[in-house]
Amino acid sequence: MPVLSVSGLHLIDGNFEPGDGPSRANVDPASGEVLPGEFRDATISQVDRALQSADLAFTTLQHQHDEWQVPFLERLAAAIEEHSESLIDRAAKESALPNARLQGELARTTGQLRLMASVVREGSWVDAVIDTSQPDRKPAPRPDLRRMQVPIGPVVVFDAVNFPFAFGACGNDTAAAFAAGCPVVVKSHPSHAGTDELFARITAMVVSELGLPTGVFNLLHGQSNDLSRVLVEHPVTSAVGFTGSFTGGTAIAAIAAARPHPVPVFAEMGSINPLFILPSALKTRPQQVAKDLYASVTLGVGQFCTKPGVVFLIRGDGYGDFMATLSEEFRSAPGGIMLNVNLKDRFLAAGASHFQLCGKSLPPQTNSEGVASVLPWLLPVDSSQWRDHSELRQESFGPGTIVVSCNTPNDLLECALLLDGQLTATIHCDGESDGTLFAQLLPVLTRIAGRLIYNGFPTGVEVCHAMVHGGPYPATTSANSTSVGSRGILRFTRPLCLQNLPDSLLPPQLKHANPLNLLRQVNGAYTREKA
């Protein structure tokens, strides 16, 4: 298999071409080495051509009724695996992530492409609902009504910094949009623009191989806020997928809402993922919970959006052992290299601010493993400090966490009630002695979290049908969706009702004979029978 190279080019309507403006190159965050490829921002004209080609592809493919997505998704997954060496080599240099992590992430990426292919093949995602006509109904007859989910149109995807594969150019949002039948225009992340270009080259080869319209996939590079604004404001854009910071996500959502024709934005913006250790768990396994917590906080140098950023517990039996073990884990921790220098600087600035609020100083950063290296930090605070300083409830993206010591169960519950929407919430609990507190805490966390974990840790997001990677605002802009798992396909669809269409004109999912053998709701009951 030939080695793919990076040239700093955009993919627009099947062609690779340079951008405009000042050039920039990516830098290895470990060594500081400048990597091959000079990237220039896309122009407004290039944005327009990319989206117009996506719109043409959408129009061309609409009549195919799920015929193109399965072979495309499966072939794309295979092609990514065929070029895994080139992808891993470039991503490792752009992100300082170890090869083993990237190999696992690549497998996850191809797995989610294949999961989406299986969802389309099985077919029930369209949620076919049929109410047959009742011509003799009094006082008025009922028409024949048939409903299903249909693709929404061209989707703009802003990929994430922390997962160059799984949330990259061919990651979750792109896979979901393709499965729904939507062409995609990806805005590459500047930190791994070269990796994104390699994904674009692979995808373009698959599009050509299968004879699909070239506008099925476009890739644009750029750092400017103006480029992002033009992508979201363009009249062809029908939906936006975003994974990144709260500032970036809310800005994009505001632009989309201010359009003459607003479009949905599915922004995953991170959270602090609270973790509660109830008295029984603290008493029976303080050291083990402390060690596992440390591992979760520092996994991937703390650059997971599900990192537990705050821990709540009540002073009592096991508290001393827990804090001693956790403090020692952080004190003896090796340094880690973050994805880029900007993230390192923001993490250290957030840590310094948090420590200063509590009258403390951030531990010295003497680690020198790389230009973007950091040491983990642990900040113990009491519940009054947590309640008084809302800044402590903001995410610190990196290997740091806050431990909030409470005095009573009511004190802990009062702290929990201050939490905003979260991607996850975790409870550690052993035995029936915590039953009352658990029962009081559960509805609070159910209201704010997209995923609730019992006696585990939130880092690690399984790609499967049941997974929810989302949550109420400000974790996301759309609490009723997920960016991971098969339900993600519904982000980029809308319901369409067809009234009194003759059977010959109906899509196969709604035809009388049910040629796809789907489980459909017919006159209020689920069946595979004719309708």
Which residues are tagged catalytic?
268, 305
Show the tokens assigned to 410.
């009511």
Neighbouring residues of 61: CB distance < 8 A, sequence distance ≥ 6: 68, 181, 183, 212, 213, 216
Type of residue at 2: P
- List CB contacts of 148: < 8 A, sequence separation 6 or more: 126, 127, 128, 129, 495, 496, 507, 509, 510
Q: Is there a contact between 400 and 347 (Cβ–Cβ < 8 Å)? A: yes
Residue 382 pairs with which residues in a beta bridge? 405
Whose tokens are 């997954």? That residue is 77
The torsion of the CA quartet 197, 200, 205, 210, rounded to 10 degrees, works out to 180
- Distance, in Å, from the CA atom of 327 to the CA atom of 323, rounded to the nearest integer, reads 6
d(CA 476, CA 253): 10
Q: How many residues does the chain have?
A: 531
Peptide bond just before 141 cis, omega within 30 deg: no
Q: What angle do CA 393, 397, 401 make, to 5 degrees?
A: 60
Residue 149 and residue 463: Cα distance in Å, rounded? 22
How far is the C-alpha of 248 from the C-alpha of 241, rounded, in Å? 12
Encoded amino acid at 453, one letter:
I
Place of tokens 């804090």: 323
CA distance 335 to 342: 17
Pair of tokens at residue 444: 């609070």
CB 506 within 8 A of CB 491: no
Write the CA distances from 39 to 18, 419, 428, 432, integer angstroms.
8, 41, 47, 59
